[in-house]
Amino acid sequence: EPEVTQTPSHQVTQMGQEVILRCVPISNHLYFYWYRQILGQKVEFLVSFYNNEISEKSEIFDDQFSVERPDGSNFTLKIRSTKLEDSAMYFCASVANTGELFFGEGSRLTVL
């Protein structure tokens, strides 16, 4: 069964460092998303991406964040200068024609 895959599964970084989280969405899906979940809190929408551009973003998705689909398969989330409060699980998701959202298993980011 096709699935959304994310790497790395866990990344530890120092505050101020750049981080890139990678996702391979399901191949025939057209919409891609990043969500995050701070430990013990709700899953929060960050950004949606369609046709090689951002279609919607939340207040959380400030200038420190960017997304890219560099090669037609990978979908990346970059955090330019990480802060302690960026520590969270980051989930990539893609949407099937049925409207069903498929989530990856997440990348845990720990900022020290």
Partner 1 sequence: TQLLEQSPQFLSIQEGENLTVYCNSSSVFSSLQWYRQEPGEGPVLLVTVVTGGEVKKLKRLTFQFGDARKDSSLHITAAQPGDTGLYLCAGGWQGGSEKLVFGKGTKLTVNP
The two structure tokens encoding residue 83? 């802060």
The two structure tokens encoding residue 110? 């720990």
13 binds partner 1 (CB under 8 A): no
Number of chain residues interacting with partner 1 (CB under 8 A): 26
Question: Minimum Å distance from CB 65 to partner 1?
Answer: 15
Choice from 1, 14, 42, 63 touching partner 1 (CB under 8 A) = 42
26 binds partner 1 (CB under 8 A): no
Choice from 11, 26, 66, 103 touching partner 1 (CB under 8 A) = 103
Question: Minimum Å distance from CB 17 to partner 1?
Answer: 23
106 binds partner 1 (CB under 8 A): yes
Task: Return d(Cα 111, Cα 82) in angstroms, integer.
Answer: 7
Dihedral class, residue 99 (left if φ above 0, else alpha if ψ from -120 to 50, else beta): left
What is the DSSP secondary structure assignment for residue 69, as one 8-state letter?
A: -
Beta bridge partner(s), residue 22: 7, 76
